[in-house]
Structure 1
């Protein structure tokens, strides 16, 4: 199925304008459901946010004419559960989207920056924007980026090869020059007293940039020299509107508030027509596949993992304030007919997995609290039994595997068990014994034999019981291209059936036995559909929703249907045959 981005935007634009008068009259722009039928196959998008394609909204800037809003947002890194961290190859981190009043889908987006966007300035007459970004690196440097973007042509340029953090940027009245106020290169620049942090933060340098047509034609990136005579006090700049950007956008749209949602942390089928979802604003939401929210479970914190074994458990994370703000202690809940029931509280970070017989394995992140006496846990809810076990060292980059719903409990263990290197796939037996199966990668002595940021799925078919595992070949060189892998191996003897290179770390992997497919989502946006037996790639394309690039962080499958949760808070249900029929020659596929 071939869908042009313009056609998607046009369709959603019309839907929005039809709903807008009713939404305003009701005092809300929330669209409870969006349900369409394409070629006889149902596709559902559930509880869509007011402005599509946004992450956590961090800024809002308005064209002087008042008809365009530039919305700045930040997308979450994959650190869910807290005892997992995967960053490799992440494709979308910071976005500038341009919206017109009454249209939920941006008519243009800019995803090219790697640092937080601090300021945006509109050209007085042309469809051009200057974007300033940057932050303190936490140790010494003020890193920055400055880009100029033509939203009609999509062209952009960077006037400087390198620049410190850009705090403010504006066009002059002629539109030929940009004034940017930047921080010093580092804490000690030009004799600054690094013992007085307030002086450092209040010191800005004025940089004047040629943005004439000649500069666009030349397309050169200059070497920036800060002029010590051009310093200004940050406190002396005109103050921007410091009110929350979401509130300013709501007023611009004429609605009481924006409907927003964080990245989807986990998603799971709870029945043929029910889906469980976790995100920052709940422990568990349950939806019907027609988009109706059936239950909303809240508590102190958020839901991180939905665990399906003999029953359904939810791994919740307690969020605290003050000096304990960085703690992410775990809570385990059981889903009953009367709601979520607290099973146990844990004063550490864990990740949990469930076996199909109901047993649970909790692995503790030793990297967060190395001095803690807590160890891993083996839980048997049917017998109300909790057994401490020690599978060995666990840290969030090296030991997460995420295989759940299988006949066995799986874990990764280094060699020796106290190490993060030379990892083996293991089965944890009901008595707590650890059975080492085979090494994740061939131990050839190279750094590429060290696997990181892994994710797996259990696969059983006519070829036998096995697993699909994807991950990263370790490389300490930041500038080198990402190198990853995905393969299928049989549990017995570790026979490899197929393998592919991958462009980024995995977000989620599921097996669809009725379709004979493995579906894998990666952090650069790639969605792969692989024949589970032969390894043939049936789809290899970047995911989009409403025509906008997105990342799939959570995924589950049932009866040929995929439930997808994205980094921009979208929930979509898509038949896998619909994806197989998609034409991926253009390099992307619509999942919404």
Structure 2
């Protein structure tokens, strides 16, 4: 909230879920805020917040988490809302994912936490039509053309990697792979694709890159459908596709430092074989399948740079989302070796999600530094995101850095660990003890940006791919004794 005139900040409130709607009370200094989103797998979670515009105090009014899509004050006592259904199974019963209700009270100025209890008297209403991105893009293109401006659509740089000569390769929405020189403002070459460039890995020969693409999920017959992924081997110097593998399933790529790589089936349904991995090379025609168990939607991917082994997360046979272990797969015979549990605190026995990481060596010996989250049904709680250093291959805890937001990318060198978060923050930690050396929020021309990917360059620089399609080259410095320590 800002004061008019000089726009000085008066109050700042954070939310666990994205904000969908805001409605100011017609007579009282109150604002109702609807938040929430579909979690991608089952539930539509969120909150109805009531913000006191005078004190800055916020109350969460719903007894149970629920996505709030629309809110309107009909009068000083009546709040009209559209809520999402609680979970997927309700869609078949209601024929929609949107339910309307009205709540009438005369005590909005004395709100208390969780004061609104079910039932809310909800009635089904049609879902709002989805925004067509192509239509929005056409409007912007015409606006720019009328003014003699050039506008190029760029969104979501999901992966970046680097070459010793300073070139940067990137995968993003609508682009399988593109290559940039540090001295030229246009890409050296670009390979457009009907889909999203999700991963890129430069192989040790430094002339070939693996690029994985995925078409966006489609909602058909009341369920989400995900098409198979496509993996390309690309000649970096020529900007040409050498080989193209049209897979039979959606996938992620895992690699190790010597260039061996594997494809993991990421379908999380009950199909026989879902979750298998296949260790591949450029000459493999029919690689053998490795039974790793079912893949999970949120808490499975384990993307570790510079790893000496092919590393995966593997859950229990009966409930694959529980009891995650870090495992390695032998590239020769496909055997699986269990290394250590993802959860290092036996007393907590938490439900941990995996994340990105890097393999390190140094004074304390070989280690993995990786990110993740402790799952909680109320959304990501404060301090439940983390960066952790574990001895390799035994998994003993060496240090933990706690965070409030999900890490999106991590890279490291012999001295420092660089971590980007979806809050827009970049944090530099000492590799040996996890102490904070520097932290800052990324901005371009004074505007915040959200980092999605990152790679360390030479000479104290990072390349950062952002949600709005930028590739930033950032100079970083690490000064001792700045900030907090790891725990």
Alignment TM-score > 0.5, same fold: yes
CA contact (8 A) 1:122 1:171 kept: no
Query: 1:273 pairs with 162, 166, 169, which one?
Result: 166
The change in CA–CA distance for 1:374 and 1:554 in structure 2 (over 3 A counts) is closer
SS of 1:470's equivalent in the other structure is: strand
**2:209 counterpart residue number:** 312
Give the 5 Å matches for 1:231-270. Answer: 261-270=154-163
Give the 5 Å matches for 1:1-40. Answer: none
Give the 5 Å matches for 1:154-233. Answer: 165=68, 167=70, 169=72, 181-183=80-82, 205=102
Q: Distance in 2 between matches of 1:133 and 1:178?
A: 21
Q: TM-score, normalised by structure 2?
A: 0.71
**1:447 counterpart residue number:** 349
RMSD of aligned Cα (Å): 5.4
CA contact (8 A) 1:135 1:144 kept: no
Q: Distance in 2 between matches of 1:185 and 1:282?
A: 34
The change in CA–CA distance for 1:384 and 1:476 in structure 2 (over 3 A counts) is same
Q: Distance in 1 between matches of 2:316 and 2:482?
A: 45
**2:302 counterpart residue number:** 401
Greater mean deviation of Cα atoms: 344-353 or 476-485: 476-485
Greater mean deviation of Cα atoms: 472-481 or 130-139: 130-139
**2:371 counterpart residue number:** 470
The change in CA–CA distance for 1:245 and 1:118 in structure 2 (over 3 A counts) is farther
**1:362 counterpart residue number:** 263
The change in CA–CA distance for 1:442 and 1:260 in structure 2 (over 3 A counts) is same
Give the 5 Å matches for 1:102-113. Answer: 112-113=14-15
**1:521 counterpart residue number:** 420
Q: Distance in 2 between matches of 1:493 and 1:233?
A: 53
Work out whether 1:428 is the aligned partner of 2:428: no
Structure 1 unpaired stretches of 5+: 1-95, 98-106, 188-193, 236-240, 586-592
Offset at residue 270 of structure 1 (A)? 3.6
Offset at residue 154 of structure 1 (A)? 11
The change in CA–CA distance for 1:250 and 1:171 in structure 2 (over 3 A counts) is farther
CA contact (8 A) 1:205 1:232 kept: no
Give the 5 Å matches for 1:386-397. Answer: 386-396=286-296, 397=298
Offset at residue 462 of structure 1 (A)? 5.4
Q: Which has the larger radius of gyration?
A: 1
Q: Distance in 2 between matches of 1:225 and 1:146?
A: 14
Offset at residue 348 of structure 1 (A)? 1.1
Structure with higher RCO (Cα < 8 A, 6+ apart): 1
Structure 2 unpaired stretches of 5+: 3-8, 87-91
The change in CA–CA distance for 1:115 and 1:169 in structure 2 (over 3 A counts) is farther
Query: 1:298 pairs with 161, 178, 192, which one?
Result: 192
CA contact (8 A) 1:144 1:166 kept: no
